[in-house]
Amino acid sequence: MYKLLLGLVFVLLSITLGTSQELNFRVSVQTLSSINSVNLDPSYFKGMEKKMSELLNTTKWTNDEYLEHEKIRGSFVMTITELSQGSAIKAEIILQTERPVFNSTYSSPMINLIDKNVSFIYNELLPLNKTANTFYDNLSAILSYYAYVSLGMDYDSFSVNGGEPFLLKAQEIVTSLPSNVVNDEGWRNDGGGRRNRYWLLENLLSPRMRQFRQAFYEYHRLSLDNMYSEQDKSRFVMLSALTSMGQANLEYSGTYLVQVFGDAKKDEIIEIFKNGDPGQKSKIKTIMTGLDPTKASKYNEALN
């Protein structure tokens, strides 16, 4: 009997380890002080936070097996900016994710973005649902979209276009949006700045950005992951990858994807090329100024 019980424990443990979820996000729901006076039980927002965390962190998003230390770590902070009657909510999201670098204690920032166009109707009595080709509600769609994009970019960093299946899942979310949601500022495919969920995914899947995604893989897997043993060679590979990104940016300029990359990587790139030779520093300043003109002074000052 003891051996039987021990065997059952081993099988259950193996199943648990084999089906561990992929995301480990710190989820927070905050409110602006201007709406703190709304007559709501404090548990309203805590309940929302709990349901968001459960959807992101306890859902199985892929068919792959993850151990606890392999999960994608990140931070998902939602700030409620408006709350109207009927539970209509407007908010902003800050999403940050990171990826461990091989044979080091360093984690490389992967995504660093602010989504200022979040709106949804929240019913605290209804669950949030994993979403792909069936629409449930806008909050479920937004959370599922960012889960798949986070997975897509993480997998892209380990193999060329490795994130494609998850980006296509995110695309299913976009194409399944009902007519009353598809024109929401966060999802719409027209208008001014092209800085929303639709355009981030469009950039990732665009044939014009294939060169960028190839370089994204080279930046992480062929450069960062080898930095511990071959710093000079890895710095050269990173310079080559960033050069390719610059060429992709000329082919498809002003993309949201390039902005997200620059916001996540600026400090990392500066730190790595501080130890580069003058020629490398000059090239990096030129490349990164082309990719991210708003940070030109930062690169010029740090890489003199």
Q: How many domains does one find in the chain?
A: 2
Q: What is the pLDDT of residue 87?
A: 85
Q: What are the two backbone dihedrals, phi and then psi, of residue 53, each rounded to the nearest 5 degrees?
A: -65, -40
DSSP 8-state assignment for residue 111: E
Task: Return the structure tokens found at 107.
Answer: 């984690």
Is 241 found in the same domain as 102? no
- pTM score, two decimals? 0.92
Element containing residue 110 per DSSP (H, E)? strand 107-121
Residue 121: strand, helix, or coil: strand
Residue with tokens 């790139």: 269
Q: What is the pLDDT of residue 19?
A: 52
Is 213 found in the same domain as 185? no
pLDDT digits (tens, 9 = 90+) for 227-273: 999 999 999 999 999 999 999 999 999 999 999 999 999 999 999 99
- Assign residue 85 a region (left: φ > 0; alpha: ψ between -120 and 50; beta: otherwise): beta
Can you give the pLDDT of all 304 residues of the chain as single tens digits?
433 443 444 334 444 444 579 999 999 999 987 776 556 777 889 999 999 999 999 999 999 999 888 999 999 999 999 988 768 999 999 999 999 999 999 999 999 999 999 999 999 999 999 999 999 999 999 999 999 999 999 999 999 999 999 999 999 999 999 999 998 999 999 866 799 999 999 999 999 999 999 999 999 999 999 999 999 999 999 999 999 999 999 999 999 999 999 999 999 999 999 989 999 999 999 999 999 999 999 999 999 8
**Residue 48 near residue 87 (C-beta atoms within 8 A):** no
Give the residue from 205, 227, 258 where a domain finishes: 205
Give the residue from 185, 205, 225 where a domain finishes: 205
Please give the Cα distance from 61 to 186 (Å, whole number).
23
- Summarize the chain as % helix, strand, coil (round to 5): 55, 15, 30
190: containing domain = 1-205
Q: What is the pLDDT of residue 36?
A: 60
Q: What is the pLDDT of residue 8?
A: 42
Give the residue from 172, 190, 205 where a domain finishes: 205
A 10 A CB-CB count for 296 gives 14
Residue 231: strand, helix, or coil: helix
Is 57 found in the same domain as 183? yes
Is 201 found in the same domain as 212? no
Please give the Cα distance from 245 to 258 (Å, whole number).
8
Q: What is the pLDDT of residue 230?
A: 94
Q: What is the pLDDT of residue 42?
A: 76
DSSP 8-state assignment for residue 223: I
Q: What is the pLDDT of residue 86?
A: 65
